[in-house]
Amino acid sequence: MRSGFTLALVIFSVLLNFSCSNEPVEFTIDNIEEEAPVEGDVEDDIPEDVIYATAKLDGQNFTGNQFQVDTLSADKLKLSFFSDLEQQIFLILPNPPVPGSYPVVQNDEAMNLYSGAFVNSVGNISESTFFSMPETGDITISTFNADTGVLTGTFEFDVATFNNNIILITEGEFEVDIID
């Protein structure tokens, strides 16, 4: 047993005295030139526009990840925000949009200016549209750039369901390109 201990001690001593340098290697690389970006590179293909729509439906987050702009008439647009949860919020705005804050009016099948709605879909079987109630909030058009088509704004309003339950749509905001 003593010879096994002695052998282990000898191996330990050898390993302890064996050294290895962990110092960093220093070197320089000369003559490296950065290439100029080429038109059509991946970075050029990524749009710089920020497009989003968010709101709260009775306190629950709503995120619009798909958008649609419909021209209802020469002076009316329907701006729709769709979520992954098969829900939609839409706003009826003037064409072209005019910056300002406007009280929400009653929406119905006539699609009145400065109105909105909440659409709840259950698959392709059922779809319920709940229209805005008058004077329950505002639609604010913050900016509209006619050259780029970028429209920003905020909204809040209430809708009534078929059994007269109220859904509060609050903290709505959007930035979309309405020309695409």
Q: Residues of the chain with pLDDT > 90: what percent?
A: 56
- This prediction's pTM: 0.69
Q: What pLDDT does 126 receive?
A: 66
Dihedral sign (CA 31, 32, 33, 38): positive
pLDDT above 60 for 115: yes
53: pLDDT strictly greater than 90: yes
Q: What is the mean pLDDT of residues 164-175?
A: 96
Burial 66-87 (b: 16+ CB within 10 A, else e): ebebeeeeeeebbbbbbbeeeb
Query: Lowest-pLDDT range, 31-35, 76-80, 136-140?
Result: 31-35
Alpha-carbon span 137 to 56, nearest angstrom? 14
Whole-angstrom distance, CA of residue 51 vs CA of residue 151: 10
**pLDDT at residue 66 tops 70:** yes
Is residue 79 pLDDT above 50, yes or no?
Answer: yes
Nearest CA to 148 among 39, 51, 42?
51
Banded pLDDT at 123 (limits 50, 70, 90) = low
